[in-house]
Amino acid sequence: MPVKRLTDKGFSLVEIIIVIAIMAVVIGVVGTLLAGYTRMFNETDDQAVARQRAQDVFNALEVAVVGCALGIPTDSMNYFDTAPISRWTEPLELRNTETYGTTGLNSGNVLRLVHSIPADMKNGNARVSDFTPSATGTPSVALTLTKPLAGDSVAYSGHADDTRKFITFANAYTSPLKVTNINGDTIQVTGKPQPAADAAANADLAKLVRGEIAPYQDVHLVRAIAAYVDSNSVFHAAEVNETDVSDTDPTGQLSPPGLRVEGIKAVWFETTNDRRLLTVKVLAEGEIVDQARLDDTQTRDAIKARWGSVKSADWDDRIFYADFAATWRIRNYAPN
């Protein structure tokens, strides 16, 4: 009996076209979803980069802000003798490069800050309250510390004008004292009266401090920084020693000493009138955005509106920007 063979049948042209159309729709939907996810991933990545850069700025300032005016009178700075910061008006001072030289500002893009840090040593077991002038009339006294003070911690020699010459005692109501000699655990210090204390009543230069240095009071090292952003989007927290980088417009200084954070477009500082609160605003950069994200101008325009201090020509629309802020309470700041 003959076997009946089945004839193989393929897809018709119409069926193939339908399948292709369905696949095109699916691919289009998947592609749109993937593009959205990719854009979201890039934005999240840029936000993380910008946030980390801003956090680096906050971290760079935190130690100085916490120690601002600790053991440092806030009514004048001229007891620092010839150090660069003797020309500053107070331990927390703001400058604006648009109105450079103006004093008494509560906001600006340059921060000058004098602070102190623990030296991990104390005054000895002797109470110091009798400051006898030397033969030259310059007040001077020897202090015996619980540990030797390292010469690299206090630049007492070899530098004509250096903030690091000075130490202070945070709880002694003292003016910073300049170290003139170190001999083991004994140091020789000299200084001036606090400006608002006895200067108006008498000219007794023998009295270096109001009050006294009690036994085992903590020694603090005096430091000063100038913080700003240069024209290459680099944040600086430059230590002020012989040279004060904030004496002139610092935005063009590309490599002064101190800590640097790249990818910072601008920074803005604001304080209350009593200097009790300091707010630091940071405009940080992410990466270069893709063309699809250039059309999203709403967020960018809002950021530009908040940062009117940045000139229009200085914005780069290819770069992702995000701004952040942190506020500190200056707990040590009290007029003396």
**Which pLDDT score, from 0 to 100, does residue 239 have?**
86
- Which secondary structure element, helix H or strand E, spans residue 229, and what is its range? strand 218-229
Among 280, 240, 235, which Cα is nearest to 260's? 235
Q: Is 267 exposed, middle or buried (0-12, 13-18, 19+ CB in 10 A)?
A: buried
pLDDT of residue 286: 85
Beta strands in 87-207 (DSSP E): 92-95, 107-108, 110-122, 140-144, 166-168, 177-183, 186-190
CA angle 242, 243, 244 (to 5 degrees): 125
User: Which CA distances in Å does 157 have to 34, 81, 116, 180, 208?
Assistant: 65, 15, 20, 7, 21
3 state SS of 65: helix
Q: How many Cβ atoms from other residues are within 10 Å of residue 72's Cβ?
A: 28
CA dist., res. 323 & res. 267, Å (int): 9
Q: Which residues of the chain carry a pLDDT beneath 70?
A: 1-11, 29-44, 129-139, 151-152, 155-161, 172-174, 191-211, 248-249, 251-257, 289-297, 335-336
158: left (phi over 0), alpha (psi -120 to 50) or beta: left
For the record, the structure tokens of 309 come out as 């201090």
**Which two three-digit tokens encode residue 236?**
């600086």
pLDDT recorded at residue 27: 77
CA distance 211 to 331: 21
pLDDT of residue 222: 92
What is the pLDDT, as a whole number, of residue 45?
75
| pLDDT reported for residue 306 | 92
Alpha-carbon distance of 288 to 26, in angstroms, equals 31
